[in-house]
């Protein structure tokens, strides 16, 4: 019934590190999305769970001990037509858990009657809450947020401008235009993010496109992969464009789904073959080489208000730098 793929494999082995928003335990049940009777059965099942969003913020339950998804259930079984009527746009199947219980995502603007919202739950920012959620639940929230955001921004057909409706349990949208009927699918934009190193130094920068970066915050260089470009080519191009540094060998480390709104961060190690920095002021505010000691200190100071520091542990940049520090030999450290 659905080709169960087992638990998510987001916690990588070997030298790879765990990345926030990976490790989704749900079976996405792709082969069952287009089965109306199967969907009807699970939408009416009182055990089915719903994750509610408001303005892209998930409904969570926060206590002194932890933060968890505030899963909602139907107060009483209702007909599928009553549940779906007026909410077709955002009834999104997230998948099945190990017990076969279906999980869906909804927007609170389209909440059907029959769902009871507990007073202890509140809509919280995904980015700020991710570090406090269990890893598996953070991954589910990332999946749901990306899909809800995509639906919100694709209400009309890119081909003819006609209205679109959700189909395949939220995994595509169909144009309602009689002469069109185009299908549109959720998109994920690939981004390379790289630890550029030369010997025992690492290259970090400050982007002019990220005003939320406080003074003293540095990060890995990164950029979108362009059409007809490989990962390795994107790493070399972005590093050259932003910092004027030439790259030799590029090796893959790990990837992270980043649901703001929906990108895939492809983490790489890149070996520089030059070290003279020439920045593009339209792309970066500052780029500089850091020693291993400086990078380690910046990593440890990620949540301190003063001094040089790196992004939070929920980011790929933080984990990539940590992995680079771990794999370098102490013999190469001038400390």
User: Domain limits at 267?
Assistant: 189-327
Last residue of a domain, one of 81, 108, 143: 143
**Picking from 157-171, 209-223, 266-280, 298-312, which range would have the lowest pLDDT averaged per residue?**
209-223
In a domain, 293, yes or no: yes
Structure tokens at 220: 């890995």
Same domain, 85 and 123: yes
Evaluate the CA torsion angle 218, 273, 328, 314 in order and state its sign: positive
Same domain, 197 and 182: no
In 3D space, the residue among 248, 246, 232, 250 whose CA is nearest the CA of residue 274 turns out to be 246
**Strand 263-272 with 57-62, pairing:** unpaired
pLDDT digits (tens, 9 = 90+) for 13-34: 333 457 999 999 999 999 999 8
Same domain, 172 and 210: no
What's the structural domain count of the chain? 3
Burial code (b: 16+ CB inside 10 Å, e: under 16) for 287-310 equals bbbbebebbbebbeebeeeeebbb
In a domain, 19, yes or no: no
CATH number of the structural domain spanning residue 128: 3.90.79
pLDDT digits (tens, 9 = 90+) for 62-77: 988 889 999 998 765 5
Q: Which stretches of the chain are DSSP H helices?
A: 36-44, 80-84, 126-129, 135-152, 231-243, 292-300, 316-327
CA distances (Å), 140 to each of 11, 26, 160, 262, in order?
Answer: 14, 8, 33, 13
In a domain, 202, yes or no: yes
**Secondary structure (DSSP) of 273-303:** S-------TTTEEEEEEEEHHHHHHHHHTTT
**Strand 263-272 with 189-198, pairing:** parallel
Same domain, 177 and 201: no
In a domain, 121, yes or no: yes
pTM of the predicted model over 0.75: yes
Same domain, 206 and 323: yes
In a domain, 243, yes or no: yes
CATH number of the structural domain spanning residue 232: 3.90.79.10
């Amino acid at each position: 019934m659905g080709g169960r793929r087992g638990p998510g494999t987001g916690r990588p082995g070997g030298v790879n590190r765990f990345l926030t928003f990976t490790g989704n335990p749900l079976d996405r049940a792709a082969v069952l999305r287009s089965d109306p009777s199967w969907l009807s059965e699970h939408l009416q099942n009182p055990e089915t769970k719903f994750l509610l969003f408001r303005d892209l913020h998930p409904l969570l339950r926060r206590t002194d001990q932890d933060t968890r998804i505030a899963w909602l259930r139907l107060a009483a079984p209702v007909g599928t037509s009553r549940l779906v009527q007026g909410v077709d746009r955002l009834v999104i199947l997230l998948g099945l858990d190990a017990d076969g219980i279906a999980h869906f995502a909804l927007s609170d603007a389209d909440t059907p009657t029959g769902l009871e919202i507990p007073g202890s739950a509140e809509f919280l920012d995904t980015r700020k809450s991710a570090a406090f959620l269990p890893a598996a639940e953070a991954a589910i929230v990332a999946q749901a947020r990306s899909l809800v955001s995509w639906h919100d921004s694709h209400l009309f057909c890119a081909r003819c401008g006609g209205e679109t409706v959700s189909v395949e349990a939220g995994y595509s949208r169909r144009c309602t235009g009689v002469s069109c009927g185009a299908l549109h699918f959720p998109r994920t934009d690939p981004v390379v993010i790289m630890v550029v190193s030369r010997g025992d130094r690492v290259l970090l920068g400050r982007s002019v496109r990220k005003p939320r970066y406080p003074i003293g915050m540095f990060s890995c260089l990164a950029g979108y992969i362009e059409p007809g470009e490989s990962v390795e080519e994107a790493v070399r191009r972005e590093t050259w464009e932003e910092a004027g540094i030439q790259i030799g060998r590029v090796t893959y480390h790990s990837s992270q789904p980043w649901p703001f709104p929906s990108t895939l961060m492809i983490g790489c190690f890149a070996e520089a073959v030059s070290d003279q920095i020439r920045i593009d002021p339209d792309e970066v505010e500052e780029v500089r080489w850091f020693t291993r000691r400086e990078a380690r200190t910046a990593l440890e100071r990620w949540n301190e208000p003063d001094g040089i520091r790196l992004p939070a542990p929920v980011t790929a940049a933080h984990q990539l730098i940590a992995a680079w520090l771990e794999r370098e030999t102490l013999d190469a450290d001038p400390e």
